[in-house]
Chain A
């Protein structure tokens, strides 16, 4: 039995369909990410799980119990808000103890639990501070402690790291994973940052226009995207749109502008004549001055983007496609602007996306 079971949930705001027939399940102890661009419905889905919104259709079950019609104050979930939503009139202890007081927990146990939670997020020294006396990172910790204090079966986090600066974000990411492992609670977090989702989540649901585009582990989502949207949204990618055609001994993709069709390693049956796209990650693209065997696209170097350890070489193909190749910075020094090169890749590294 999954801890969280969402089946066929839809939510409309007026004419806008925010969440459209979403079904997914989250297991005990998972760190699950809802990833998507802004407006894809991920936050609405989180609010549906928390109980702030009621679905127009579908059911939501937590730990086997249907909670679709249960108000937020009776759901065994807690949420960490993007703005943290700390109560300004209460100090750190008051904030963390708030949920426990509502539960009617005895004073002694409550104080022990608050101390334990503050120790967990390393905020014990700030117990008597008010929210306005805390930095962004400290507020985030208090918000986490407050949400975990009631020991929910499921913790929801709305863009947990968005309000932090870059360096702090990376530290906090690791801490969140550590805390999640220690408390063993399932986390469901919303993010628009693919790096965050790939780096933290055990599984990711990529959302687009209110629907789930793909659910899988970080590696599955990145290596084997199932749609053009997922390939494009998660990480950088080179995309070739074309029409499927019969090749010598396999299906090939006829891309307008390219001389030869690209031979595909077809895993599934692809309908001849159907539209499809081929996705190749920038780090899989190889550049060489001479024409290599197999797939090869003539291109010109447009510029080199140095990013420290790695560099991204931007190319324009003779067909007009803009391409990106990522490589170690040392390797990138052999290319320069205006140089003609051949781009190629191992057919196994190309992912076919039917449309």
Chain B
């Protein structure tokens, strides 16, 4: 493979990345626009960031989204890890194949159906059991944890498959009880999957609009919901500013996660 940059290659690269990143770059640029109109350039200004900071509607929504994201990701981590262990380790039980297929299903089921079915479940559950008391942060968290745990399970399962079980035997041999082996050897061994699983579930939760719209109540507007409803009235540069802040936060998080995973992977390769 030649490393020479030809005109064609340079053009392909520019077009490809341009397609991906030009809209985002425009969005960031227009967030510093002094003009009231989104598409008309009126000079540099931080005006819209100030407006954003003073806007309680978005602040509350962002706080809700963060709360839900953290709780849902944590819940998904626990459930998904359990499921991943069951599929990878408990190899002989009836219906294992069905179980693993069903675990994958929410990854491909359309969000609308997922949201609607969860809404029906919550309504029915409230009618029969009296719980959950109403729709709000709790129901959105549960809904997000549901599909988040599927992603966690897939990641955990894959990493467990590559985990050397001799290490667990070594720990048992050194006097560690099975539970202690899990805490001190197995879970540290699959940490990259746990970290990336949590981050993935968190990102998905932060990102979700459809499912949240179904199962949320009036008290729990998430950030995507707030953005969507305000865009329906009209796009203001304030939304651009919000998106830019959001983008910055996501970039930092993703970079953090990647460097963590890459470091672990390098260590694992070197150790192996």
Interface residue ranges, A against B (CB under 8 Å): 50-52, 71-74, 77-79, 81, 83, 85-89, 98-99, 102-103, 130-133, 146-147, 150
Contact = CB atoms under 8 A, between A and B. Distances in A.
Interface residues of B, number: 23
Nearest to B267: A132
Contacts of A86: 170, 271
28 contacts: A50-B169, A50-B173, A51-B172, A51-B173, A73-B173, A73-B174, A73-B176, A81-B169, A81-B170, A83-B166, A85-B164, A85-B170, A86-B271, A87-B170, A87-B185, A88-B271, A98-B171, A98-B176, A98-B184, A99-B175, A102-B174, A102-B177, A102-B180, A103-B175, A130-B267, A147-B173, A150-B174, A150-B175
Contact of B177 (A73, A133, A146): A73
A71 B169 CA distance: 11
Contacts of A81: 166, 169-170
Contacts of B237: none
Interface of B: 164, 166-167, 169-178, 180, 184-185, 188-189, 191, 267-268, 270-271
Given A50-B173, A102-B175, 10 more contacts: A52-B172, A52-B173, A72-B172, A85-B164, A87-B188, A88-B271, A89-B191, A99-B175, A146-B174, A150-B174
A207 B173 CA distance: 25
A99 B189 contact: no
B269 to A, nearest CB: 8
Contact of B189 (A88, A130, A132, A133): A88
B189 A89 contact: yes
A88 B171 CA distance: 12
Contacts of A74: 175
Contact of A78 (B164, B166, B173): B173
Contact of B271 (A73, A102, A131, A146): A131
Contact of B172 (A73, A83, A130): A73
Contacts of A102: 174-177, 180
Contacts of B188: 87, 89
B264 to A, nearest CB: 9
A353 to B, nearest CB: 39
B169 A72 contact: yes
Contacts of B174: 73, 78, 98-99, 102, 146, 150
B185 A132 contact: no
Contacts of A146: 174
Contacts of B180: 102
